[in-house]
Amino acid sequence: AEMSGEALVDALRQVGLNAGVITAGSAPVLGFDDAGIFEIDPPAPRRVADVTGAGDALTGATVAALLHGLPLRAALREGVAAAMLAIESSEAVPSFTTANFTQALALVPEAREVA
């Protein structure tokens, strides 16, 4: 039986996590923190070159944004944008310019509150 996002978050909170992110391929990215549960719908990649590294790109960019002081919702949008750029790149370690990243970030919708 598959758990709902909210049930999964409840279970993670019960084991002591105060905040986290749950991904599942192209499904909405689920995040939670002390302010609640939220989702971000990843935009469809403009082209799919290679899905390898998408999760690493999402994680790295999200953590980098958190270290720069962004709240989780904003940081995760940056992670989703980086994941999209990784999927669109045939390189194992994609490189992109600030302009490419800004353009990709503009395609990522704001977080939507779930609970």
Q: Which CATH superfamily is domain 5-110 in?
A: Ribokinase (3.40.1190.20)
Domain boundaries, the chain: 5-110
Please give the structure tokens belonging to residue 105.
């970030």
Instruction: Classify 93 as helix, strand or coil.
Output: coil
Which SS3 state, helix, strand or coil, does residue 49 take? Answer: coil
CA-only gyration radius of the chain, Å: 14
Q: How confident is the prediction along the chain (115 residues), in pLDDT tens digits per residue?
A: 677 889 999 999 999 999 999 998 889 999 999 999 999 999 999 999 998 889 999 999 999 999 999 999 999 999 999 999 999 998 877 788 899 999 999 999 999 999 7
- Do 105 and 77 touch, CB atoms closer than 8 A? yes
Please tell me the pTM assigned to this model: 0.90
For residue 1, how many other CB atoms are within 10 A of its CB? Answer: 3
Using CA atoms, how far residue 26 sits from 15, 88, 111, in Å, is 27, 14, 15
